[in-house]
Chains A and B, each alone.
Chain A
Amino acid sequence: MSLGLGSLLLLETACDPKPDDIGPVSPTVGSLDSIPYNPVAYDYPEINGLPAMEEPSDNRATEAGVKLGRYLFYERKLSIDSSISCASCHHQDRAFTDGNPVGIGVGGAVGTRNSMSLINVGYNWKQNSQHNFNWDGKFASLEEQVLSPVEHPLEMMSNWEDVMQRLKGHEHYPRMFRQAFGIEHIDEMSKELAAKALAQFLRTLNSADSEYDRDEWVPFEYMSEAAQRGKLLFLGDALGSASTKDAECAHCHSFTRDAAIFARNSFSNNAIDSVSSFIEFSDNGLGDVTGSVVDNGRFREVSLRNVGLTAPYMHDGRFATLEEVLDHYTDHTSGSRGPNVANELSTAPELPHLTAQEKQDIITFLHALTDTSYVNKAEWADPFLQADPWAE
């Protein structure tokens, strides 16, 4: 009888790929199947002004996946000397930027690009585009993007093999990977699953509760008059009034009432470098990714939500203030600045003639896009600051 049951057990487990794929496994050491796996789909909150969040078909968010992603986001073991985590360059109180011109890696290594805001970052994903993430569009998906900083020589300087060994040897992460992805053995923990969890967490960082949003959605709540004037200038020849002055901002930082991202998910040369040919840019940006010279000098047009919190500005953090940004756009965006300057800028007839007051009104409107509702949001905060981080 016992032999019969044993044979049946043998049959039952014969198709499990683990032993073939990873060698002999002790029936107890490394096995995770005693831990319950009860995935619960993550329920994205509906937020006025933001469309439904899209996610890849092979990485639907679950409560446990998002939780694991949050822990990994704040986990310093992802860096070579356990000194920094993703959150080191993405602070919750700065719309997940860091206030530095460019990112600072392990040992103070100075990066080359400004740390981008992660608020609403999931909306950067266009399903049929290969260039959705990072300033240069290097990554198609968040799942690809989050793998990069761990091994970047100016960021975490580690490698995923070592990181996964650390996580596999951790007291709690094997359980969390099991709860997130249903793996049955510790050796199934992989960088790909870590990336999926991180991506799931990042896709939850959605918020739209600024003065602009309340003006749009809450009865009898309005932006200041200066912000209203700034919005008209930002939007341009709106409301059928041809006489309204047009700062042309909304071409690139586009928005609708229901899709108020303030970015069109595209790349352009906004004339911050004055060059006479395609091969003179100090940083080619998208061009190095696509291999097309006409893409040289093109960088992601970022969302302007929370722009008041994300200084300094541009891909290299060259402008310290919004005032400097506005001065650039009014003074230095003619077509003579380069062969592929965005035509929305080079043809803008009124942009060079904005008055100081009009520029200040635009800046006031930009500050009206600041949302601080999430600054102390516990679900996004560092779990390792909790009294008992690992409590289930």
Chain B
Amino acid sequence: MRYLSAFLILALVGWAASCKKDPVDPPVEETKNLTLNFKAQFDGQALPMFTDVSAPNGENFQLQVFNFFLSYIEVQKENGDWVLVDSSAYVNFNSLVDLADAEAGVDLSYSLAETGNFTAIRFGLGVSPDLNAMDPADFSSAVALGDAGNYWTAWDSYIFTRTEGKIDSLPTAAGGDVNFLYHSGVDGMYQQKNFSKQFNLEQATSLNFTIDIKEVFYKVGQEIPIADNNVSHSGDPSTAEYAIVKTVITNMGQALELQ
């Protein structure tokens, strides 16, 4: 009986101990040590979507849709080696309709194992030819390349950049608003960008890019003739449609600055 009692006590103690819940570790958030921030501006001021701004030629200009792909984002170490950050990223300003949101911009955040000093960053504006040879069915829905809406079957190409919006009539012209839509795509439009910048990834670092939309549409000598040709989906390189969006994406590349 004495042994039985001892056994029972032991069993109860064991039962009580076994019911103690294991401490639950909080989910570990991977620390992001590199943020690429992108801000759309117009003449140096934050540009919310669906907001009129005054263009140099006197017309009102409004951006409504603005997004673009980046390919092969890489940073350069002090020893000259390039480190891949991301093979593809999508920068989408469409939901930034308030001034505060526009001033905050779009963040791409990464956790890089490589730390230390870096001297440059480079990426392609658009979808690189190797990725552009693929199809949305080749990618997960978790990435923008997996979205069939970012692909234009007519040209077997991803849509590299979207710029859509409207202008009003010039003060001296008749007529109402002119909506515009320029979608760039196809391999010949891919723009490689390199930026020199000293930075260190021992601690969280943000690289801040701006793209001035005024320099995209109203760049002196490379203006986009919105009123005369308000729509293009890229197309064949021999056409005016191709030329106009090639100018759009070229201007975008030139307007993209690292602060």
Contact = CB atoms under 8 A, between A and B. Distances in A.
Interface of A: 3-4, 7-8, 10-11, 14-15, 20, 51, 54, 125-128, 235-240, 242, 250, 252, 254-259, 261, 263-266, 290, 292-294, 335-336, 339-341, 343-344, 346-349
21 contacts: A3-B8, A7-B11, A20-B19, A54-B141, A128-B141, A236-B233, A237-B235, A237-B241, A242-B235, A250-B152, A256-B135, A256-B136, A257-B135, A257-B153, A258-B136, A258-B138, A259-B148, A335-B177, A335-B179, A343-B65, A346-B179
Given A293-B97, A347-B231, 16 more contacts: A4-B7, A54-B140, A126-B147, A128-B142, A256-B136, A256-B151, A264-B147, A264-B148, A265-B148, A290-B95, A294-B50, A336-B177, A339-B50, A341-B179, A343-B165, A343-B180
A250 B140 contact: no
Contacts of A257: 135, 153
Contacts of B177: 335-336
A259 B137 contact: yes
A27 B160 CA distance: 63
Contact of A10 (B15, B138, B179): B15
Contact of A347 (B11, B142, B181, B235): B181
B225 interface: no
Interface of B: 4, 7-8, 10-12, 14-15, 18-19, 49-50, 64-65, 95, 97, 135-138, 140-142, 147-155, 164-166, 176-177, 179-181, 230-231, 233, 235-236, 239, 241
Given A7-B8, A264-B148, A264-B149, A256 B50 contact: no
A127 B141 contact: yes
A10 B50 contact: no
Given A7-B11, A294-B50, A240 B135 contact: no
B241 A242 contact: yes
A15 B19 contact: yes
A21 to B, nearest CB: 12
Given A250-B154, A343-B164, A237 B49 contact: no
A7 B95 contact: no
Contacts of B142: 126-128
Which DSSP category, helix, strand, loop or mixed, fits chain B's interface?
mixed
A257 B14 CA distance: 62
A186 B72 CA distance: 52
Contacts of B148: 254-256, 259, 261, 263-265
A256 B137 contact: yes
B151 A254 contact: yes
Nearest to A349: B231
A14 to B, nearest CB: 5
A11, A261, A336, A343 — which one has the most chain B CB atoms within 10 A of its CB? A343
Given A126-B141, A257-B135, A347-B179, A240 B164 contact: no
A340 B149 contact: no
B181 A294 contact: no
A258 B135 contact: yes
A53 to B, nearest CB: 10
Contact of A294 (B97, B137, B239): B97
A10 B151 CA distance: 60
A10, A51, A238 — which one has the most chain B CB atoms within 10 A of its CB? A51
A7 B147 CA distance: 58
